[in-house]
Structure formats: C-alpha cells, structure tokens
Amino acid sequence: MKEAVFYEVIWDSLVQCRLCPHRCRIADGKSGRCRVRKNVNGRLFTLNYGQITALNIDPIEKKPLYHFYPGSSILSVGTFGCNFRCGFCQNYEISQIAETGEKLLPEDLVKLAQRYKSQEMIGVAYTYSEPVVWYEYIEASAPLIKELGFKTVLVTNGFINKEPLKKILPFIDALNIDLKGITEEYYRDICQGSVTPVLEAIETSKAFGAHVEITTLLVPGLNDAPEQIEELAKFLANLDRDIPLHFSRYFPRYKFNLPPTPVESLIRAREIAGKYLNYVYLGNLPDASNDTFCPHCGALLIRRDYFGVDTPGLSGDTCRQCKNKVKIIL
C-alpha cells in the first residue's frame, strides 16, 4: 500500500479523497467508491500501487489512437479498480472485481519499457482499467518513462478533478478519453458518474496541448439518439474540429444484455458527427472503413486494414496532395 495523494483529514479519523469528483468521505477501515483507496487509521492508502492485472504490447490503434504515431506499438499496462460502475463494462473482471495483481513497481515498468525498446514501440499506455484511480503509480512512473524519451498515454474515463489532472498532464503525451454520452442522466443512471467533469477534463487536456482523441461506446436506445450524437459532436467541434472521435460498437457484457448496437446506428452516428468533425471512426466493427482523408482536399492520408497501417498521403504532418498541414503526429 502507498499513501494516497489528494486527500485531507476532515474530522478525527474521517478523510475526504479529492482525486475525483465523487469526493468520497471515508471512515476508518472503509474504502472509497473505487474500492482501491482505503482509510487506515485516519490515513488514505491506495491498494493498487504497483499491481498489474494486464500487460501487453498493443498496436497504438487499439487504444484507440489513430492520429498519434500511426502504425506504432505501445507497452500497455493496467491495474484494477474504477470510479465508475458502467453496467456494460467491457473490462469488468479487472475494473469491478479484481482485488490483486502481479507486482510491478515503477522502476520495473521502466526497465520493461527499455527491454522492449524498438523503433515501433513508442512508450507506455496506462489502460484496461481506470488509470485515474492508479494516480500515484502513474505520477511515479510516467516522468521516468518520459526521461527515456518514450511517450506516455492515458486511456481514461476523464472523471478526475482539475488539480490532479493539471499536475499529471506535463508527463502525459496523449489521452483517449471516454465520453460515454452527453447527458447527465446517462452518466448518472448507467455509469454512476457525471458528464460535466468529463467535459472539463477534455477541455483542460486540450488547453494544455496534449493530443486528445475521444471514444464513445454507442449503446442502442440509451445514448445513440441523433440529437445526442449531434450535441456531443458540437461540443467537441467547439474545441477543435480535428479531434478524432471513435464510435465503438457495444456488445452484451457484464450486467447488460441488450443486443449489440445495430450497424446502421453506428453509420448514422458517423454521418451526423461528420458534419461537425473532420475525423470520425467506427470501432468494434471489423468491416468498417477507417481510413483517414485530408479534410482540405479529400486525399487518402492513412490506410488502415487488418494487416497494418500505411501513410501514402502524408509527408510528415503535411498532405502530399494539397500541402496543407494536418493534425497527425508522426
């Protein structure tokens, strides 16, 4: 166990965690809503520091990040715990149930990254479960990873308070933030969270200059209504029309047994969002075309298929055909 950052003693041995917007008040011997922060004798400790439940080298496209070193791979690590309770969680075995993992301290993660160093392997992604509730581990390891010249990535629900987010952003190169829907009701009823802090986390990360892509899992009948898709896309477009948005197909999982999202719903969402955003992709849909085209002249910039990624239309960050700059990091 490691003592948590961002908490305060509010009375006797009662503490309040300030890491995420739940702001749990936690009595001695109890844990917060994420189950991985526990009050022990009036001090708050993290239970998942240095605990790994999943470790792989993944294509960067799997995070998904499509405009950040396309075709590269990334050492991907995850722990257990989450500050949401999404009924459709695709990783519930580690986010909602697991209570222990394999030990891998920050210095061991750094050694591992060095061992796998290659031209294609660009760094470390904190992913699989929720990295917000792994904050201390990321704070300890990400600066060391960056010192080696590697990139760091967070794949997160973005449900974090502004102060801790701002403190960690200098050590994070790219984020894929789940924007699970656009209504407060959806976040409250389905995820036991709130949308406003997530929107603020997206704004803060963009304003800081991090590379940001967004994923929205479309659940039939719950968050795929055209007006909701439009509102979500407009919010992102107000920040930057070039933010890549990934609509992902839902499949029955954990507590949800609704049928999978109809393909037509995903295609309709792409059409609607595409009126506002330059890059909209479809995930969990093997037959979908997810090539990238120049928003200025329509030339093919990046071709993606099962076997890989190539960039026939790019010369650095410039479209070969029209010579305009595009926001793709190579």
Write down the least CB distance from residue 104 to ligand SF4, Å. Answer: 21
Q: Please give the distance of CA 240 from its chain centroid, rounded to a whole number.
A: 18
Which tokens hold the place of 5? 């950052």
Q: Are strands 7-11 and 314-315 parallel, antiparallel or unpaired?
A: unpaired
Block residue for tokens 């987010």: 165
Q: For residues 36 and 60, what is the distance between their CA atoms, to the nearest angstrom?
A: 28
Interface ranges with ligand SF4 (CB under 6 A): 17, 19-20, 22-24, 32-34, 37, 83, 133
Q: For residues 199 and 220, what is the distance between their CA atoms, to the nearest angstrom?
A: 22
Write down the least CB distance from residue 206 to ligand SF4, Å. Answer: 23
Beta carbons within 8 Å of 153's beta carbon, 6+ residues apart = 60, 63, 65, 68, 74, 123, 124, 125, 126, 127, 172, 173, 174, 175, 176
Write down the least CB distance from residue 84 to ligand SF4, Å. Answer: 9
Strand locations in 27-107 (E)? 37-40, 43-46, 51-52, 54-59, 73-78, 102-103
* Closer by beta carbon to ligand SF4, 39 or else 248: 39
* Closer by beta carbon to ligand SF4, 34 or else 314: 34
Write down the least CB distance from residue 37 to ligand SF4, Å. Answer: 4
DSSP characters over 43-59: EEEES-TTEESEEEEEE
Beta carbons within 8 Å of 191's beta carbon, 6+ residues apart = 84, 85, 86, 157, 180
Give the DSSP H or E segment for 186.
helix 184-186
Write down the least CB distance from residue 120 to ligand SF4, Å. Answer: 34
- The dihedrals phi and psi of 271, each to the nearest 5 degrees, come to -65, -45
Write down the least CB distance from residue 200 to ligand SF4, Å. Answer: 15
Write down the least CB distance from residue 85 to ligand SF4, Å. Answer: 10
Block residue for tokens 């898709």: 229
Look at residues 218, 248, 237 and name the one whose alpha carbon lies nearest to residue 295: 237
